Amino acid sequence: MNTIKEKFKAIIFDMDGTILDTEVIWSRVTREVMRQNGVVLDEHEYRAIMDSILGNDIYKTSMTFIEKFGLAVSAKDLAEQKIVLANQYFSERIEFIKGFEQFHGKLQLSNIPTGVATNAHPENLKGLSDKMEFKKFFGSNVYCIADVDFKSKPDPALFLHTAAKLGANPEECVVFEDSIAGFRAAKSAGIKCIAIKNSSNKNLLDIVDGVIDDYDQAEDAIHRLT
C-alpha cells in the first residue's frame, strides 16, 4: 500500500455494481415497475435494454423505457415509482462486492483518502448509505448527482467534484467503476479507471486502464497502472 500512496493520493468508488452487489435488486425493481405500467419484459429484451443504459441515472433510464414502449407516464413519475420500490427491496440483504471490505481496510490503514461518486438518486443513496454504514468507510465523502446539479455520468463533474473534496488532482486519483457511463466519465475527467468486470461490460473494457473480477485483485491492479 505504501507504493500505491506514493503514486496516487485518493481512490474513488462508484456504488451500484462496483462496491455493492445491487444488480439483482435493480432488475427486480425495473421489471416490477414496468409490469405495473403494462409492459412485461422477457430476459433477452430486458438485458438488451439494460446493457445499453448501464450506469445512467434513474431519470435517463426511465426516459429510455418511456420512449421505447410509449408509456403514458413522465420520467419523474416513473423514476419515483422505482425509487419507492427500490427502497423497499434495499431493506433486504445487500452484500459488498467480494473483497471490498478487506481492500478498503488496507487503504484506511495506509491513510489513503477514499470517496463514493454515484449516479444514484439522493433518496436511494441515503438508504443504502445508512444500511451499509458508509460513514465508517468514507466519512462524509459520499457524493451523488445532487452534489453536481444533477449532472450524471458520463459527464465528468461528479468524479471531479469527488477528487477535489478528497484533496487530489484528477491525475492523482484512481476510480473503480462498472459501467460504460462511468468509464467515459473517468476518461473525460483524466482519472485512471479500473473496471469491475461483469456480464454487461465485458465487451466495453478497451477504454479502461485495468480490469478486475473482484477486490481481491484490486491492489495488484493499481500497482500495474502507469
Residue 34 belongs to domain with CATH number: 1.10.150
Sorting pLDDT into bands at 50, 70 and 90, what band is 25?
A: confident
What order of strands is seen across the sheet that includes strand 10-13?
142-144, 114-118, 10-13, 173-177, 192-196, 210-212
Q: CA dist 201 to 5, 38, 54, 146, Å?
A: 29, 29, 9, 26
Q: What is the mean pLDDT of residues 191-197?
A: 96
Q: Kindly report the backbone phi and psi dihedral angles of residue 178, in degrees, each rounded to the nearest multiple of 5, phi listed first.
A: -130, -5
Higher-scoring residue by pLDDT: 42, 38: 38
Q: Which residues touch 149 (CB under 8 Å, ≥6 apart)?
A: 157
Sorting pLDDT into bands at 50, 70 and 90, what band is 160?
A: very high
Of the three residues 35, 57, 89, the one that is the final residue of a domain is 89
In this prediction, residue 43 carries a pLDDT of: 77
pLDDT above 80: residue 56: no
Both 192 and 127 in a single domain?
yes
The percent of residues in the chain predicted with pLDDT above 70, rounded, is 98
Both 56 and 15 in a single domain?
no
Both 16 and 125 in a single domain?
yes
Higher-scoring residue by pLDDT: 202, 216: 216
Domain coverage including residue 72: 23-89
Enter the pTM of the model.
0.83
Count CA atoms closer than 13 A to 10's CA, side-chain side. Answer: 25
Of the three residues 48, 71, 89, the one that is the final residue of a domain is 89
pLDDT above 90: residue 214: yes
- Looking at the 3D structure of the chain, how many domains does it have? 2
- Which three three-digit cell numbers place residue 198? 461483469
Both 12 and 36 in a single domain?
no
104-133: pLDDT as tens digits: 999 999 999 999 999 988 888 988 899 999
4-17: pLDDT as tens digits: 888 899 999 999 99
pLDDT above 90: residue 189: yes
Both 60 and 148 in a single domain?
no
- Give yes or no for a contact between 142 and 134, defined as CB atoms under 8 angstroms apart: yes
pLDDT above 70: residue 55: no
In this prediction, residue 142 carries a pLDDT of: 98
pLDDT above 80: residue 92: no
In this prediction, residue 102 carries a pLDDT of: 97
Q: What is the mean pLDDT of the chain?
A: 90
Task: Identify the three-state secondary structure at position 216.
Answer: helix
C-alpha span between 33 and 31 (Å, rounded):
6
Both 195 and 125 in a single domain?
yes
